[in-house]
Chain A
Amino acid sequence: MALLEASDLSLGYDSRYIVKGLDFSVNSGDFLCIVGENGSGKTTLMKTLLGLIKPFGGQILTGDGLKKKDIGYLPQHTALQKDFPASVREIVLSGCQGRFAFRPFYGKAEKQLAFENMRRMGIEELKDSCYSKLSGGQQQRILLARALCAAEKLLLLDEPVSGLDPKVTAQMYELIRDLNKEGLTIIMISHDINAAVRYASHILHMGVTCFFGTREEYLKSDTGKLFLMLKRGGEACA
């Protein structure tokens, strides 16, 4: 069975429909990229997958013993409070939060996990620095390390590279691809269609017409061709 399967899903918020009849499935080890115009419901879909919003209709089935605490989440880059006094270590550790039900404090296992994920992201030497004083790329790595503390199987990324410069963006994508190669299933929202068709194994296109399939199928489909042409054409003009 698939790790995650959505059938006839209808999404929206404040009693306003955004998407109707969405079908897709994610298997273990997949790299699914969600693309589409602004306002097509990408973030709403992600929030629904996380259980933050209830779907209007349809259902999301989880398989392979996927539980809520196995899912890591990297939120869309928002100006998180500028003056927040928190060290990198404290933030990464807070990703382990879902692991203990009633225990009040972090144990050795959590501290070890946080340290390993900081090393994986190459930020262990920053562990005592103040989060708010670091650069955008470093902050994204920290939040990714935090998400990894929560993720056993599935990682949801909402625009992981927005606001980063091209070099850091490329590094970030490589990092995500490496995680996928290590066996983590990834669902990523991206505005960057080029990156999507380069890295993803599957593509979910949201918009007037929805498309779901492998990357190869997407490149051959009308939706994909049109969207790629529009995006690349737009970038060429700009």
Chain B
Amino acid sequence: MPDKLLMYFQHPFVRYAFIVGVLIALCSSLLGVVLVLKRFSYIGDGLSHVAFGAMAVAAVMKLTNEMLLILPVTVISAILLLRTGQNAKIRGDAAIAMISVGALAFGYLLMNIFPTSSNLTGDVCSTLFGSASILTLTQKEVVLCAILSVAVVLVFILFYNRIVAVTFDETFAKATGVNTQACNLLIAAVIAVIIVLAMNLVGSLLISALVIFPALSAMRIFSSFKSVTICSAFLSVICAVSGIVISILAGTPAGSTIVAADVAAFGLCSLAGLIKRGTGR
């Protein structure tokens, strides 16, 4: 079995997939805690559909660099969603559902009217489930992904304390002079970047899982913000690594294997949490 792995790792595309997988898993887990607590668990799903719609538009327009369109569109949607979260006429969950379904339908419609290849269903399937795209990454994409990941991690660390304060009690933070609007904007932008990145790995549909599962798993065991964040980052990377390795060995699709690993980790953490609580009191 190690021979088989070694053989695979001699191919650059496998190495790229591995690097990108680990980076995305790390980034997506960081903000998961914030999203779960802000009751925006489903934003990953909604935004990924927006990104899917943008991707369809980019394909139809025959843009050479799809990122140029996808990234700004997703960032703007994220900002709109998170900004209107508090006192909008259409509340968070409904707004997400609306944007998500609308963008998905619009994207599919566009792809149908202006087919770019003969295998339309296959195309849609791979964008949604990310079945193959992680194995077709070019060196340029890997570099871009690495730069964006580093930026996400840096922003998160630098603004960590503000993010905690705003997530816990936005009114108090605002009253004591924290610029909460800028902070929410930043969170939205970072989330959008993460989602566009993650689309390459697991596809639109499974992004939510990548964002939410590590955070929820870590929250079963730990009770301080810092330990939950660190734990979810670790869990996410471990699940991504094992998911990719299993998918190579067993020939399963990378995205869904990683999510399966995340689900398994959640089960284990829930169990550990139960035992901890049982012995604690």
Contacts and interface: CB of A to CB of B under 8 A. Distances in A.
Contacts of B227: 85
Interface stretch (B21-29, B130-138, B162-170): B162-170
B173 interface: yes
Given A75-B169, A81-B37, A130 B223 contact: yes
Contacts of A50: 175
Contacts of B241: none
Interface residues of B, number: 28
A81 B224 CA distance: 14
B172 interface: yes
Interface string A186-229: 00000000000000000000000000000000000000000000
A128 B225 CA distance: 11
Interface residues of A, number: 35
A146 B224 contact: no
B177 A94 contact: no
Identify the interface centre among B164, B169, B174, B178: most chain A CB within 10 Å of its CB: B169
B159 A90 contact: no
A90 B161 CA distance: 9
B114 interface: no
B178 A128 contact: no
A75 B175 CA distance: 10
Interface string B171-201: 1111111100000000000000000000000
Interface string A63-80: 000001101110100001
Nearest to A89: B224
B173 A87 contact: no
B224 A98 contact: no
A109 interface: no
Contacts of A132: 223
Interface in B8-67: 33, 37
Contacts of B160: 104
Nearest to A49: B175
Nearest to A80: B169
A52 B222 CA distance: 34
B91 interface: no
B228 interface: yes
B158 A87 contact: no
A73 B176 contact: yes
Nearest to B33: A85
B212 to A, nearest CB: 13
A105 B226 CA distance: 13
B219 interface: yes
Given A68-B177, A75-B171, A94 B223 contact: no
Contact of A97 (B33, B157, B162, B171): B162
Identify the interface centre among A94, A95, A128: most chain B CB within 10 Å of its CB: A94
A69 B177 contact: yes
Contact of A83 (B157, B178, B219, B226): B219
27 contacts: A50-B175, A52-B171, A52-B174, A72-B176, A73-B172, A73-B175, A75-B169, A83-B219, A84-B37, A85-B33, A85-B219, A85-B222, A85-B223, A85-B225, A86-B168, A86-B225, A87-B223, A87-B226, A90-B164, A93-B161, A94-B168, A97-B161, A97-B177, A98-B177, A104-B158, A104-B159, A132-B223
Given A75-B171, A94-B161, A128-B224, 10 more contacts: A50-B175, A68-B176, A69-B177, A83-B219, A84-B168, A87-B224, A90-B224, A94-B168, A94-B173, A97-B178
